[in-house]
Amino acid sequence: MFSVKTITLHVVFLSLFIMVQNPIPMVDLASQYQKIKKEIDQAIQTVIDDTAFINGPHVKSFKSDLEKYLDVKHVIPCGNGTDALQIAMMALGLKHGDEVITANFTFVATVEVIALLGLTPVLVDVLPDTYTMDIEAVKRAITPKTKAIVPVHLFGQVADMDELMEIAEENNLFVIEDTAQAIGADYTFKSGRVAKAGTIGHIGTTSFFPSKNLGCYGDGGAIFTNDDSLAEKLQSVVNHGMKVRYYHDNVGVNSRLDTIQAAILSVKLPYLDQYNKSRREVADYYDRAFSSCQLLKTPYRSPQSTHTFHQYTLVLDQSVDRETLQSYLNEQGISSAVYYPVPLHLQKAYRDERYKEGDFPVTEHLCENVISLPIHTEMNEEILKYITDHVLNFLKSL
């Protein structure tokens, strides 16, 4: 039998261990792998045995597995989520000077490819609840040069696709959904119809970066569409602009999903719903623990979209010093992160005379006050209690 003293000591050592040896990570890919190790190792070994490294049979079978899962006509696998966005814009035939509207509060990739292709990024603010595109701002941003809208389903929640598709139709615009953070999310239209995120716009894109909700063990990405002729163009762009070998119809790129990655993804896809469910359970725990705390705002959940909680992101009251909270958590062995600290219009690379500080109040407020806590498929109550207790202790001490 342990005496109370030994137990207390044990707890002290546990926290010491967490602090020094083993900080609680934002994601835990190692533990997730351990649970499916046999299947994964076997899948990788098969690819090596077959030496089918490029465009092997696993790429085709993953493509059709994902088409079935998403209920979409075409999945075009590619090298990563950034390529996916670029290829989408190339396949739509967007040209120098065309304007593309996207959300200011996002990962840089979304705007990077717009700039790379010589298109003109037009930034809009996000909504203070879902952190997705402000529909009214989109309407105001449309000009005769606008060709496409790129909503980002940020942190795992789908933008207002009913409204966006309506605006797009009225103005003859394409919609590319950046689904890198929301794969598996269900969107319910006003009509009651339900569709997977990424299959609603003309094109959807995603990333299989290891830490994404469906992550591979390296780089990977995919593009979705229900449009046969767009699918044909996308397929040609990913493969050097050719349909027939060595006959190049348009300028393309070389962007392939590696066969080993495809084999890994085919093992992981059947677990995706379970993975998203366990992320939602983590979010539920956080929500409950923080429900009566006035100094932070827990994530809003849109009634139209399931939330895949790629990130669990709190908005701190302005009286809370984020850096001090982060270093306190860090001292306790708890990781935290800021997605994203600087709005696109204030980034050095994307400064533009059209925009100045103060033009995007919601985005700017979020960049200054958000903090994301660890969320992944392998968390347990003990760890969650440890994290929430420390966050609340810090806030109480203010």
Number of H helices, E strands in the chain: 13, 14
Of 47, 56, 66, 82, which one interacts with ligand PLP (CB under 6 A)? 82
Nearest-approach distance from CB 256 to ligand PLP, in angstroms: 13
Interface with ligand PLP in residues 120-159 (CB under 6 A): 152
Judging by beta carbons within 10 Å of its beta carbon (0-12, 13-18, 19+), is residue 357 exposed, middle or buried?
exposed
Cα–Cα dist 317/364, whole Å = 14
Nearest-approach distance from CB 8 to ligand PLP, in angstroms: 43
Site residue total, ligand PLP (CB under 6 A): 15
Of 32, 102, 104, 106, which one interacts with ligand PLP (CB under 6 A)? 106
Nearest-approach distance from CB 244 to ligand PLP, in angstroms: 29
Structure token pair of residue 362: 């919601």
Nearest-approach distance from CB 221 to ligand PLP, in angstroms: 5
Stretch that binds ligand PLP, among 64-72, 74-82, 191-199, 230-238 (CB under 6 A): 74-82
Span between the terminal Cα atoms of the chain, in Å: 40
Cα–Cα dist 35/379, whole Å = 13
Does position 80 interact with ligand PLP (CB under 6 A)? The reply is yes
- Residue 388, CB half-sphere, CA atoms under 13 Å: how many? 22
Map residue 9 onto helix, strand or coil. helix
Cα–Cα dist 277/309, whole Å = 9
Does position 110 interact with ligand PLP (CB under 6 A)? The reply is yes
The values of phi and psi at residue 130, to 5°, are: -90, -15
Stretch that binds ligand PLP, among 80-88, 155-163, 365-373, 381-389 (CB under 6 A): 80-88
Cα–Cα dist 149/102, whole Å = 6
Cα–Cα dist 203/163, whole Å = 16
Measured from the CB atom, the residue of 57 and 210 that comes closer to ligand PLP is: 210
Of 43, 47, 77, 81, which one interacts with ligand PLP (CB under 6 A)? 81
Map residue 191 onto helix, strand or coil. coil
221-259 as b/e: b if 16+ CB within 10 A: bbbbbbeeebbebbbbbbbbbeeeeeeeeeebbebbbbb
Interface with ligand PLP in residues 207-236 (CB under 6 A): 207, 209, 219, 221
Nearest-approach distance from CB 336 to ligand PLP, in angstroms: 18
Of 146, 181, 259, 306, which one interacts with ligand PLP (CB under 6 A)? 181
Measured from the CB atom, the residue of 318 and 347 that comes closer to ligand PLP is: 347
Stretch that binds ligand PLP, among 12-20, 178-186, 319-327, 359-367 (CB under 6 A): 178-186
Q: Is the dihedral of CA 365, 367, 368, 369 positive or negative?
A: positive
Stretch that binds ligand PLP, among 63-71, 78-86, 127-135, 375-383 (CB under 6 A): 78-86
Of 98, 125, 134, 178, which one interacts with ligand PLP (CB under 6 A)? 178
Does position 372 interact with ligand PLP (CB under 6 A)? The reply is no
Q: Which residues bind ligand PLP (CB under 6 A)?
A: 80-82, 106-107, 109-110, 152, 178, 180-181, 207, 209, 219, 221
